[in-house]
């Protein structure tokens, strides 16, 4: 009497086990080891960007991938690994004498179709006392559509030279623009602003000044296939990116 029930239970377990085995490959296809290397170019670059007065739009990061604080401690919110496929490529670039490796890291993460990642914070290089952060800072973001999409937004700063550099600031109007009703008066005569108030207005419309200036930046989104090594660079910094699918 109990044999049919036993047989049914055995078949049910077998079906569940088979479904688990069949679904495992599809899950494994979404798991990758992401690898990132950030390098600084040692040779003096020829800079034609004239970016010292540029103020890049700041991207709010989620987790910290590699952030070095003012005391030299490295902070990461991700479980990273140093066992990288990119180790050999980074070593070759460093051996050329033209680059210095600032960061090598990797981590395992699932990137399913239509994955929308969050910007990961990076801050490293020389500490700029006046600016209060490291010379190289920004974010790296990973998304997935048909391909993996890597967006690199890194800024390379230095302390301002020759005094504080004015930063470009957008204003809603031009200084000195006239208005038809500027000199509207009362019955006792026209009313004009005092010299001190006009000076305060003019000062408030001057460009903001900063203790840092932009050297170069990387602003690029790269479409990638797995097991391809991509190099994104500016005249002063470079980024190696690699994704390895996990079976």
Region of residue 24 (phi > 0: left; psi between -120 and 50: alpha; otherwise: beta): alpha
Higher pLDDT, 12 or 97: 97
**pLDDT above 90 coverage of the chain, percent:** 57
Residue 15, SS3 per DSSP: helix
For residues 131 and 153, give the distance between their C-alpha atoms in angstroms, rounded to a whole number. 19
Q: Tens of pLDDT along 115-163?
A: 999 999 999 999 999 999 999 999 999 999 999 999 999 999 999 886 5
End-to-end CA, the chain: 45
Mean pLDDT for the stretch of residues 64-81? 97
For residues 147 and 52, give the distance between their C-alpha atoms in angstroms, rounded to a whole number. 35
Q: What is the pLDDT of residue 61?
A: 83
Banded pLDDT at 43 (limits 50, 70, 90)? confident
- 176 pLDDT exceeds 50? no
Banded pLDDT at 108 (limits 50, 70, 90)? very high
For residues 114 and 25, give the distance between their C-alpha atoms in angstroms, rounded to a whole number. 18
Banded pLDDT at 114 (limits 50, 70, 90)? very high
Q: What is the pLDDT of residue 211?
A: 86
**Cα distances (Å, whole numbers) of residue 225 to 114, 241, 245:** 15, 11, 10
Contact 41, 99 (CB under 8 A): yes
- 6 pLDDT exceeds 70? no
- 217 pLDDT exceeds 90? yes
Most confident of 7-16, 39-48, 203-212: 39-48
- 204 pLDDT exceeds 90? no
Q: What is the pLDDT of residue 90?
A: 98
């Amino acid at each position: 009497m109990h044999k049919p029930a036993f047989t049914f239970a055995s078949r049910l377990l077998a079906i569940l086990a088979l479904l688990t085995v069949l679904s495992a490959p599809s899950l494994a296809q979404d798991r990758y080891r992401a690898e990132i290397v950030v390098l600084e170019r040692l040779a003096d670059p020829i800079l034609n960007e004239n970016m010292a007065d540029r103020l890049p739009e700041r991207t709010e990061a989620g987790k910290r991938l590699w952030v070095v604080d003012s005391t030299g401690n490295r902070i990461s919110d991700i479980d990273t690994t140093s066992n990288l496929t990119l180790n050999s490529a980074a070593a070759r670039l460093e051996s050329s004498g033209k680059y210095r490796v600032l960061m090598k890291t990797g981590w395992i993460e699932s990137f399913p179709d239509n994955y929308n990642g969050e910007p990961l914070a990076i801050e490293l290089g020389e500490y700029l006392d006046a600016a209060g952060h490291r010379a190289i800072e920004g974010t790296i973001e990973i998304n997935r559509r048909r391909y993996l999409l890597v967006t690199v937004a890194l800024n390379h700063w230095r302390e301002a030279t020759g005094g504080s550099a004015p930063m470009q600031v957008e204003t809603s109007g031009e200084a000195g623009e006239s208005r038809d009703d500027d000199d509207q008066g009362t019955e006792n005569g026209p009313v004009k602003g005092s010299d001190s108030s006009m000076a305060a207005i003019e000062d408030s419309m001057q460009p903001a000044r900063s203790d840092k200036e932009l050297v170069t930046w990387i602003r690029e989104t790269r479409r990638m296939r797995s097991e391809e090594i991509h190099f994104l660079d500016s005249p002063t910094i470079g980024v190696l990116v690699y994704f390895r699918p996990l079976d």
